[in-house]
Amino acid sequence: MTAATQQENQTVPENELANGNGIYGKEGVIVPVVNPPVDIGVALCPCDSDAVPEILKSISSFGDDPSLDNDNTRLGLLAKARDLVRALETPRETMIKHCWAQPGCYTAITSCYNLGVFSVLASYGGRPKKVTEIARILRTNPEVLTRLMKHIAAMGYIKETDPDEYAPTNFSRSLTIPIIGDGYPCLAGGAHKSCSKFPEYMAKTNYATPTDVQAGPYQYAFNTKMNMFEYMQSNQPLGKQFNHHMGGYRQGRPSWVDFNFYPVEERLIKGMDASPDAALLVDVGGSLGHDLQEFRNKYENAPGRLVLQDLPIVIDAIQQLHPSIERMNHDFHTEQPVKDARAYYMHSVLHDWPDDVCKSILKRLAAAMKPGYSKLLINENIIPDKGADWQATALDMMMITLFSSKERTKSDWYRLLESPELGLKVVGIWSVGNGVESLIECELK
C-alpha cells in the first residue's frame, strides 16, 4: 500500500497511528485499536450508574399518582423508565437481551400467535389456563408450548399465575386484534430476513448506501427480484397481514385531521371548487382507506369527492369503508387519472422509495395539479437533527433494509420536493411533536 493510499483510507488521527493504535481492517481501511484494552469488568457493571440518581429524581417528579390519561405525562414517564432500565443494565445483560431474549421472544410470540394461543388465553373471561388445557384446545404439542409461553411470561407479556399456568395481559389480549397481531407473522415471513442479512449485504457492497430498488438488501436476502410489497402480495397471507399491520401502526397516533393539527377548514375546504364532480381529497396509495375514513368521520359535511387509490389487490381486500368514499384501482407509477383535485395526499408512501423513484411519482402528481388551487399533502416523518424519537429511527432501519430508502430530515424533504424538475414548492410544515408524523403542504410554483 502506498503512503497516499494509506492516508486516503485513514480513519484515526495521525498521532494515534504513530502510537501504534491502528490496524488495517477490510479493504486496507485503518481502524482504531483500543489501548489499553477495555477490561471485562466494564461489561459487568451498570451501563450508567452515575445517571441513576438523576433519573430517579425525574421519575419522582411525576408524583405518586400521575395522570396516565395525559399522553405527554405517560410518554415522559415511559421515557424515564426506559432510561432507568438502560442505566441499571450491565453491558453483558444488554447484549444477552439483544442477541437472545428479544429475538427469542419475537419467535415465541409469532409461533403462539399462529397457533391461536392468545385467543384461547383471552377466552372465558381471561381466567388462568394451564398449558396442557391450551394445548388440548388447539390440538398441539404441550412440551414445545410450555417452553414458548415460559419465555413470553419471563419477558412480561403474559402473566404466570402458577407452574405452567398463565393469564392474559392487555398486550396479549390486543394480539387477538388482527391489526395488532398480524404484524408478527407478516414481518417474520416477509421482512426480518432482510434485517438479519443486512450486515452481510453491506459488507459485500463495501457499505455503499443502498438505493437500488431492484437489487437491494431485500432482494439479496429473499433471493427475489420483487420488492417487499410485491413479495408479500405474492405470498399470501403476508400481503393481507401487512395491510392490517399498517392499520395497527396508525392507531393512537396524532392525525393531521385532528382539529389541533392541520387547519383543514382554512387550507382545504375554504376555496373548494363547488362543482358536483370536484375532488376534495385523493388518497394516493391509501391502502385500506383508514385515513379517508377518519377524514370523513371528522369532516362529514366537507364538500367534494373523496377518492381512495391503490393497487387492485389492496382495493379488493377492503371490508369496511364509508360508501361515499370512491375506490379506484391505480398504480402511482402511472399517470394520475383524477385531475385538478383540491388536494392529493400520500401517507407513508415516499419513505418507501429512494429519491429518483420519488421524483417519478411526484412528477405524475404535479402534472395533475391545478396551478394556484391544488395542493400536495405529504404525511411523513421528519427526522430531527438531534434527539430523534426511537419509533422514527426504528422505521428508518426498516426503510434501509427493506426498501433501499430512508426516513428523511427536513433538509432531505426540501431537497426532494423542491427539485427543479418537479415544479413544486413547500408552503408549510405542520406537526405536534417529536416522534409524530408531520404534514408537508406543497403547491405548484
3-state secondary structure of 281: strand
Q: Which helix (H) or strand (E) holds 73?
A: helix 71-88
Q: Of the candidates 331, 332, 328, 270, which has an alpha carbon nearest to the alpha carbon of residue 299?
A: 270
The angle, 0 to 180 degrees and rounded to 10, between the axes of the packed helices 71-88 and 52-60 is 160
Report how far residue 99's alpha carbon sits from residue 97's, in angstroms, rounded to the nearest whole number: 6
Distance of CA 228 to the CA centre of its chain: 14
Alpha helices, H only, 205-281: 217-222, 228-234, 238-250, 264
Burial (Cβ within 10 Å: 0-12, 13-18, ≥19) of residue 211: middle
Q: Of the candidates 29, 403, 394, which has an alpha carbon nearest to the alpha carbon of residue 209?
A: 403
Q: Which long-range CB contacts under 8 A does 217-226 form with residues at least 24 apart? A: 217/400, 217/401, 217/402, 217/404, 218/194, 218/401, 218/402, 218/403, 218/404, 220/194, 221/193, 221/194, 221/196, 221/197, 222/193, 222/194
Q: Of the candidates 249, 102, 235, 117, which has an alpha carbon nearest to the alpha carbon of residue 183?
A: 249
Q: Which residues contact 276 (CB under 8 A, 6 or more apart)?
A: none
- Please count the CA atoms within 13 angstroms of the CA of 206 that sit on its side-chain side: 4
Tell me the three cell numbers of residue 181: 397481531
The angle, 0 to 180 degrees and rounded to 10, between the axes of the packed helices 131-138 and 142-154 is 130
**Phi–psi pair at 329, nearest 5 degrees:** -70, 125
Report how far residue 196's alpha carbon sits from residue 119's, in angstroms, rounded to the nearest whole number: 30
Report how far residue 406's alpha carbon sits from residue 395's, in angstroms, rounded to the nearest whole number: 8
Measured between alpha carbons, how far is residue 316 from residues 310, 313, 329 in Å? 10, 5, 9
Catalytic residue among 192, 244, 330, 351: 351
Q: Is 351 a catalytic residue?
A: yes
- Detail the DSSP E strand segments found in 168-222: none
The angle, 0 to 180 degrees and rounded to 10, between the axes of the packed helices 355-368 and 410-417 is 50
Residue numbers annotated as active site? 351
